[in-house]
A = this chain, B = another copy of it.
Amino acid sequence: MKAVLVIADGMADVPLKELSSKTPLEAARKPSLNRVAESGICGLMDVIAPGVPPGSDTAHLALLGYDVMEVYTGRGALEAVGSGIDILPNDLAFRCNFATVDGDFKVIDRRAGRIENEDATKLTAAIKESLRTDPLEVGDILFKNTVQHRAILRLSGPNLSTMVSDTDPHESGVKVLKARPLDGSPEAKETAEILNELTQRFYEVLSPHPLNKERQKKGQLPANIILCRGVGQLPDIDPLPLLYGIRPAAIAAVPLVKGVCKVAGMRLLPVAGATGTYETNVIAKAKVAAEALKSYDFVLVHVKATDLAGHDNKPQKKIEMIEKVDALVGYLLSHVDLEEVLIVVTADHTTSSIKKEHSGEPVPVAIMGPDVRTDDVKEFGERACAKGGLGRISGRDLMPILLNFLGKAEKAGS
């Protein structure tokens, strides 16, 4: 037996008045998702714990079977790995933004007018050059822009700590924050000092840069500072092949989920047209997944845009994306051998269209396979699955349950 696990990001929601008190998932036309529910066993899943809104990083770690409370130190390193940056144990990684500040370091725009990749790349070159010719008196520093205003900062060295606060104030109209040590260790103190020295350097390099003068002439905001947040280290985890004796692969477009999957020892499979946006090509993803099942035991397929629609409070857009996920699952149902492949569908968390944020309600989950104990559930929905044969499980239970179906579960005792 093999398994494909389809995770639609933030697909679960709450009842919405504009949908006659249905959730977007309940309101969507979803024959294939319903077929998985009807032919399979269903339930509700608290991805982290009841009532706790999961992040996408912690959610995926939990769904892969890890103890989030024990292994998670922050988003930075996972996103960095997903962006193709090498992170070693003990390295620190921050999520960064090119931003605009005035002469007093007061933030005018946290995204420097959503600066284009091209300009960010040029400014990044200047930062690199400065750090090369006039290095800070500390360990190795790597700075890399990714998409638009986004960038990654990596600090490597023997005396670093994640116990430092952000320099990003997370709002405009206030000053860039001084990084502060969050415990009494000399490592936290040193890390905060490096971050503050770097922030000064960012301003000194970027502020007078000719490109920023040009931007201002064109009426664009200068990208004259870098804001840092979300420091993290690699979670100290065993990869899935070692943990479970399986060959795992993942199909995902967004760096954070790619990072989690890579850190978990999954092979990342590239898909042309998979974008992490509303326009993503779900059938292309399904095709790669179906093909991958020939070489891998466990294939995770992540779809991002269901979550975006929730954050944007666009229920109709969310329904549309859910129907795309349904098409993805439909392709799998008609292109894999259902006697040999378990089809598993769920979400990594609830995104409430009302709160426009991740929310703590459990998510529906359905597992279809030849030997599962089917139940009476006929629809894949938040409330329908609550009556299913799985009952209410925890996110960390999902992998053991799947491994049991795959014949890979280890007996406890004899």
Interface residues of A (CB under 8 A from B): 14-15, 21, 23, 44, 48-59, 61, 68-69, 72, 74-75, 230, 352, 354-355, 357-361, 371-375, 382-383, 386-394, 397, 399-404, 407, 409-414
Q: Can you list 22 pairs linking A and B with CB atoms under 8 Å apart?
A: A15-B373, A15-B374, A51-B400, A51-B401, A51-B403, A51-B404, A51-B409, A52-B400, A53-B409, A53-B411, A54-B411, A56-B414, A68-B412, A72-B413, A74-B414, A75-B413, A230-B414, A357-B411, A360-B400, A360-B404, A361-B404, A373-B383
Tell me whether B391 and A48 are in contact (CB under 8 A). no
Q: Are A413 and B382 in contact (CB under 8 A)?
A: no
Given the known inter-chain contacts A51-B409, A58-B413, A401-B51, please indicate yes or no for A44 contacting B375, CB distance below 8 A: no
Bound Cα distance from A383 to B400, whole angstroms: 20
Question: How far does the alpha carbon of A399 sit from the alpha carbon of B14 in the complex, in Å?
Answer: 19
Q: Do the beta carbons of A393 and B58 come within 8 Å of each other?
A: no
> Can you add 15 more A-B contacts, CB < 8 Å, to A48-B413, A58-B413, A58-B414?
A14-B371, A50-B397, A50-B400, A51-B397, A53-B410, A55-B411, A56-B413, A61-B413, A230-B414, A358-B411, A360-B403, A373-B386, A374-B383, A375-B386, A391-B391
CB neighbours (8 Å) of A386 from chain B are: 373, 375, 388-389, 391
> With a CB–CB cut-off of 8 A, which chain B residues contact A68?
412-413
Q: How many copies does the complex hold?
A: 2
Q: Which of A55, A354, A358, A413 has its CB near the most chain B CB atoms (within 10 A)?
A: A413
For A407, list chain B residues within 8 Å (CB).
355
A391 near B389: Cβ-Cβ < 8 Å: no
A361 to B402 alpha-carbon distance, docked (Å): 10
Contact check, A354 vs B383: say whether CB atoms are below 8 A apart: no
The distance in angstroms between the C-alpha atoms of A403 and B404, with both chains bound, is 31
**Cα-based distance from A55 to B411 in the complex (angstroms):** 6
